[in-house]
A and B are shown apart, each in its own frame.
Chain A
């Protein structure tokens, strides 16, 4: 198993490539999801108030 993670001696280049990509894509997704949920919730509140 440790042989697998060593990636033939190139671990220091391969894992950071995947790590940076995964981190950035996850963060961007979470930011986008949070912004969407905030917008949906805010609009629900407003339209509810509009109907009263």
Chain B
């Protein structure tokens, strides 16, 4: 056990060192890009000629939706890598990113609702775009539930990984739902053939807020990956202590802090 565990941690060890070095930079980039992004989103950009000030909801809604989908792609691809190559970091990367993706999905749903009410006259319609995006939220919840559904952590991760991979079919459905089916939701105006059809004064806050959300995603993902790896190492140490020096381990357990298992 200890031999194979050592082998498995060889790579994560390198990641842990790298993570502690890049985390301060990621934190600075996140704070800076949110500050600049919010300045443009809420102050230094004009109201839309049709949507008036509600266009400012776009600077929350669209980046949140982008990162929600990006994060699911991340979770899905990492899960595939974990299933195929059994790479120890891939499992951890998927588990760390899942709650972050779920949060962005929820933000996109809520801000979309709040935008829909004044512009469409309704908080919600059961059209293809909104329904497939709601499904994304349930995929995240299912993934998180399965991760914690088994006493055997590895088994939970494997079952959750299968769901994550299968669920990736929802991503192209969300993206193309506005083209394939009739909907209230506007079609793509940034990521489309022929370039963005949106004025620079509004594209600027949109892209800076997207950058901020992207930085936030990597910041929190790396933080959570580091936490998961340290918790795993701690479990290995506790296991080794319990098997080799039971009495020392017993005193340790009462004296030491136990790692958080929530969130």
- Interface 9-residue window, one of B99-107, B126-134, B144-152, B196-204: B99-107
Chain A 2-35 interface mask (CB, 8 Å, partner B; 1/0):
0000011110011011101100110011011111
A21 close to B107 (CB less than 8 A) = yes
A24 close to B106 (CB less than 8 A) = yes
B114 close to A13 (CB less than 8 A) = yes
Judge if B82 is at the interface, Cβ distance under 8 Å. no
Interface residues on B, range: 35 or more
What does DSSP make chain B's interface, helix, strand, loop or mixed?
helix
Selected contact of A43 from candidates B47, B60, B114, B230, CB within 8 Å: B230
Chain A interfacial residues counted at CB < 8 A: 32
Report the number of A-B residue pairs with Cβ-Cβ less than 8 Å: 111
Selected contact of B223 from candidates A13, A32, A45, CB within 8 Å: A32
B259 close to A42 (CB less than 8 A) = yes
A13 close to B118 (CB less than 8 A) = yes
What residues of chain A lie closer than 8 Å to B220, measured between beta carbons? 28-29, 32
Give Cα A46 to B224, complex, Å: 20
Please judge, given known A-B contacts A17-B114, A46-B237, whether A39 and B260 are in contact too, CB under 8 Å.
yes
Which B-chain residue is minimally distant from A30 (CB atoms)?
B263
Interface set of A (CB-CB < 8 Å, partner B): 7-10, 13-14, 16-18, 20-21, 24-25, 28-29, 31-36, 38-43, 45-47, 49-50
Interface set of B (CB-CB < 8 Å, partner A): 42, 47, 52-54, 56-57, 60-61, 64, 99-100, 103, 106-107, 110-111, 114-115, 117-118, 216, 219-220, 223-224, 226-227, 230-231, 233-234, 237-238, 241, 248, 252, 255-260, 262-263
| 15 sample A-B contacts, Cβ–Cβ < 8 Å, listed by A number | A8-B52, A13-B57, A14-B56, A18-B42, A20-B107, A20-B111, A28-B99, A28-B100, A29-B219, A36-B224, A38-B227, A39-B226, A39-B259, A43-B233, A50-B237
